[in-house]
Amino acid sequence: MLESTTPILEVRNLTKHYRLVQAVKGISFSIPTGICFGLLGPNGAGKSTTIEMIEGIKKPSSGEILYKGAPRGEDFAQQCGIQFQSTALPDFLLVREVLALFHSFYDKTLAIDELVTLCDLGEFLDQEANRLSGGQKQRLLLALALINDPEIVFLDEPTTGLDPQSRRRFWHLIDRIKKQGKTVILTTHYMDEAESLCDDLVIIDHGKIIDQGSPQALLQKHLPHRQVSLHTETVIESAAVTGDVSATPGVVTIDTLSVEKTLQELMAFDLDLSTLRVHNPTLEDLFIKLTGHALRD
């Protein structure tokens, strides 16, 4: 019997060589069942190549891929769901007809009515699939990825190009999927997306894993300080407050491990605190610290 501690997916020393490039350089990680796991990095980092090897689309140069503790079998494609970065939909078919077509491809399926509800498709079921807006198309593609009722779902940069409202709506759908006990593997270069959705993630750059953990754990590990800034002409000496003080004309900035203590100390100066701002580090801040360049370079 499968132990509950067995990862649903495990990757061991995965590599991918092309003639002049080593795109993936010995990547290893494991994914527990029922979480959203992120592969995070800029374009060209190797994350899409990694996920395509796991899906079986590309053949690894070396390494192992285990599904539920055993080597991934030939039937893995029937057991997983995949939403690609770009997928062409059949011309002139209504959304309900596309669902019925893909439904016929599998022995094990979710009911179409359940997919319609799960992915919020009801409002455009009778529209032609190739005339949908960007957000609507991504919701349909998500439904197609779920149509075989997979335990594990791959989403390769699913919100690229969507407007903020459509992106947020798609995030809500991913939360719904997770609540059904499915495991979601997400590649993205959007920091807010990873921070909102991922329970665990790996940060990849130049084909290597830089670090792994939950967004909160990684931020606490690498960027434990908070930044307090205030518009003031008052000179504040480092000795007077907890943290590192820096100043530019009219602005004082303090890097501190305790925002509460720093605020109490600033109040002793009898300052106008109406312009005070507290900046919490983000995953983008973390990536810049670890790699020296922004994610969208």
pLDDT at 73 (0 to 100) = 86
- Residues with Cβ within 8 Å of residue 70, at least 6 apart in sequence: none
**Rounded Cα gap, residues 241 and 261, in angstroms:** 8
Q: What pLDDT is stored for residue 145 in this prediction?
A: 94
Give the domain ranges of the chain: 9-220, 224-280
Q: Is residue 88 pLDDT above 90, yes or no?
A: no
Mean pLDDT of all residues in 122-145: 93
Cα distances from 139 to residues 43, 145, 193, 208, 228, in angstroms, run 23, 10, 16, 31, 40
Helices 95-103 and 134-146 meet at what angle, rounded to 10? 20
Of 43 and 125, the structure prediction assigns the larger pLDDT to: 125
Confidence of residue 297 (pLDDT cuts 50, 70, 90): very low
User: What is the SS3 assignment for 51?
Assistant: helix
Q: Categorize the per-residue pLDDT at 103 as very low, low, confident or very high, splitting at 50, 70 and 90.
A: very high
C-alpha to C-alpha distance for 2 and 7, rounded to whole angstroms: 10
Per-residue model confidence as pLDDT tens digits over 44-63: 888 889 999 999 999 999 99
More confident residue, 155 or 77: 155
Structure-model confidence comparison of residues 269 and 124, the more confident one: 124
For residue 150, how many other CB atoms are within 10 A of its CB? 22
Compute CA distances 54 → 61, 76, 109, 153, whole Å: 12, 10, 22, 11
Which residues, in sequence order, are CB contacts of 162 under 8 Å at separation 6+? 134, 135, 138, 170
Q: Sheet of 251-256: strands edge to edge?
A: 244-248, 251-256, 226-231, 277-279
* Residue pair 151/183 in contact by the 8 Å Cβ criterion: yes
Rounded to an integer, the average pLDDT of 238-250 is 84
Percent of the chain with pLDDT over 70: 97
Q: What pLDDT score was predicted for residue 9?
A: 96
Task: Identify the bridge partners of residue 278 per DSSP, sorted by sequence position.
Answer: 228
Mean pLDDT, residues 141-152: 94
Contacts of 152 (CB under 8 A, 6+ apart): 8, 9, 67, 79, 80, 81, 182, 183, 184, 185
Contact 120, 136 (CB under 8 A): no
What integer pLDDT is reported at residue 294 of this predicted model?
53
Average pLDDT of the chain is 89
**Per-residue pLDDT at 102:** 93
For the chain, give the percent of residues with pLDDT over 90.
63
User: pTM for this structure?
Assistant: 0.87
Residue 3 has pLDDT above 50, yes or no: no
Q: How far apart are CA 185 and CA 143, in angstroms?
A: 16
Q: Was domain 9-220 assigned CATH 3.40.50.2300?
A: no
pLDDT at 1: 38
